[in-house]
Amino acid sequence: MVKKDINKKLERLKAEKNELERINKEIDGRVLELYMLYNVSKILNLSLNIEEIFNGIINIIGKTIHIDEFCIMLLDEATQKLVVRAWYPNSGTLPDMSFDIGEGISGTVAKTGNAMLIQDTRKEPNFMFYKGVKMDIGAFMSIPLTGKKGDVLGVFNIHKKEPFSFTENDRKFFQEVANQIAIAVENAIIYDRAREASMHDELTGLYNRRYFFEYIEKELARANRYKKSFSILMIDIDSFKNFNDKNGHLKGDKVLKETAKLFVSNLRASDVVVRFGGEEFICLIPETPKEIAVTTAEKLRRAVEENIYKGGENQPGGKVTITIGVATWPDDAQSAIELIDYADKAMYLGKCKGKNIVFPLVK
């Protein structure tokens, strides 16, 4: 009888020991998850650059959590497609793939805003293998990246090669990771939009002088490194005060917008045109010597002269015209400020010669 009681107690103690081990293991796993979430949050809050955010996610999640693959797809505003922006394991180039909203699991999650867990992809008719990627089977989880207002920014997809390998704790953990990613992505998007807006002229939609000063320094460094020349055109609408006085400022604004469109349509995609202030514009033309820059400037001058502006008949000569000063690096200056001043001086001298002219100042 005593032996029987002892055996029962031993069995009970063994069961309690096993339960304690299970609880400790569960606690250890949860502590690790909390530590991971803390690190994810810390890394995501270090930058507003979306590429740096994705690199941080790949480094901490991909290298410390046992998953075979994961990817982050964001909604492209222009195409309204889900596009891969981060991938683990990353061989250096991202897979060239996209999904329509509602297409496959990722598209469905983006459309509904609800996460999906598939324990065996072979049994899910809506599962679509990534185009161009090997057809691995296994367990798959897709979680929406949701903004503060409930809008879906993209999806966070996790793949394990072993079917039925996702636990309920996994689901909760990756949902928390997705929440952190969504916050960081939305903050980066807001920052990018604000920065982009700060670099554009509200009236014409062109870049503004703040952008230009950043851009010309980069172009100067690039031209210096590769021993290339580049030119700038300083452009001023002739007698613009007269136009505003005769026609009103609203029509003057229309002239500025129309002229900006003319410049864009008559320049190369690699050329940069900026509203420099008031009725002044400036163009930077990469890898262009002075003689070709003068030809480009003359093309712009003719485009404006030949355009029919409402109110243009009230201008001297009966039409809207422009005067352009041309300067080239390194022929005319050794710094960005010197080059801008040189082009401005050339434009001023062109005004003195009667306006409606392209004037390349020669040293």
Query: Are 24 and 74 in a shared domain?
Result: yes
The answer to whether residue 66 sits within a structural domain is yes
Query: Are 215 and 318 in a shared domain?
Result: yes
The answer to whether residue 344 sits within a structural domain is yes
Query: Are 43 and 140 in a shared domain?
Result: yes
Q: Shortest CA distance to 347 belongs to which of 305, 218, 339? A: 339
The list of the chain residues with pLDDT below 50 reads 23, 27-28, 131-133
The answer to whether residue 271 sits within a structural domain is yes
Query: Are 139 and 219 in a shared domain?
Result: no
Query: Are 66 and 136 in a shared domain?
Result: yes
What integer pLDDT is reported at residue 28 of this predicted model? 46
Task: For residue 328, count other CB atoms closer than 10 A to its CB.
Answer: 24
Catalytic residue among 186, 219, 279, 306: 279
Q: How far apart are CA 316 and CA 320, in angstroms?
A: 8
What integer pLDDT is reported at residue 132 of this predicted model? 43
Q: How many domains does the chain have?
A: 2
Cis peptide before 89 (omega within 30 of 0): yes
Q: How far apart are CA 239 and CA 48, in angstroms?
A: 44
What integer pLDDT is reported at residue 241 of this predicted model? 96
**69 flagged as catalytic:** no
Q: How far apart are CA 73 and CA 301, in angstroms?
A: 46
State the CATH number of the domain containing residue 254.
3.30.70.270
- Three-state DSSP class for residue 70: strand
The answer to whether residue 12 sits within a structural domain is no
Q: Which of 175, 197, 219 is the last residue of a domain?
A: 197
- First vs last Cα of the chain: how many Å apart? 116
Which tokens belong to 74?
Answer: 């964001």
The answer to whether residue 224 sits within a structural domain is yes
Query: What's the pTM?
Result: 0.70
Q: List the domain range (segments joined by +) for residue 44.
A: 18-197
Query: Are 145 and 281 in a shared domain?
Result: no
Q: Which of 148, 166, 197 is the last residue of a domain?
A: 197
The answer to whether residue 202 sits within a structural domain is no
Residue pair 346/325 in contact by the 8 Å Cβ criterion? yes
